[in-house]
Copies of this chain bind each other. A is one copy, B any other.
Amino acid sequence: MAANAGIAGTGAEHFPPSVAFLVSRLGFEVGSRLAAGLAPLGIEPRDFGLLRALAHAEGESQRSIGRALNIPPGRMVALLDGLERRGLVRRRPHPTDRRAHALHLTPAGHRLLNDAVDVVVRVEVSLCAGLEPAEREQLLALLGRLARPGAVTPEAHPGLSAVTGW
């Protein structure tokens, strides 16, 4: 986990209550918890994002998945090397294009993905522990209306990954 990343402690004391501030702080918090939870599984949040995508697109090529996830080709190689070394992913010959690899989750990869999803669920539960179910629904609705209006990048959420790997 990133022990200490950058500049500012928050100095929240001097700051007016702010949705932007809280959301930033919590976003980092969630990322940290997720990383901590995934560490015992031997993967990082970004691997989780990739594994999940692979589960939904078995047999696709590296570039195809890379495009969907906004990962440049060079990074895909390194990422997949790691996952393959751990036996979670396999590169098989592509049936119709001899240049490409067909990517597949191994059984171990599927099992680990399940465990990783459990981690995410646990993070969600612990995060919302102080809320009644109805309050959580309310919060989800309000956050959803925040998410919409002026997304800087409407197409995707590039770089979210930097924090969460989602």
Contact = CB atoms under 8 A, between A and B. Distances in A.
Contacts of A126: 149-150
A42 interface: no
Interface in A144-158: 144-153, 156-158
Contacts of A139: 19, 139, 142-143, 146
Interface in A33-85: 33-34, 36, 45-50, 52-53, 56, 68-72, 75, 79
Given A30-B23, A52-B14, A160 B8 contact: yes
Interface of A is mostly: helix
A116 interface: no
Kindly report how many copies of this chain are found in the complex they form together: 2
A162 B10 CA distance: 12
Contacts of A157: 9-10, 12, 25, 28-29
B163 A19 contact: no
A8 B166 contact: yes
A31 interface: yes
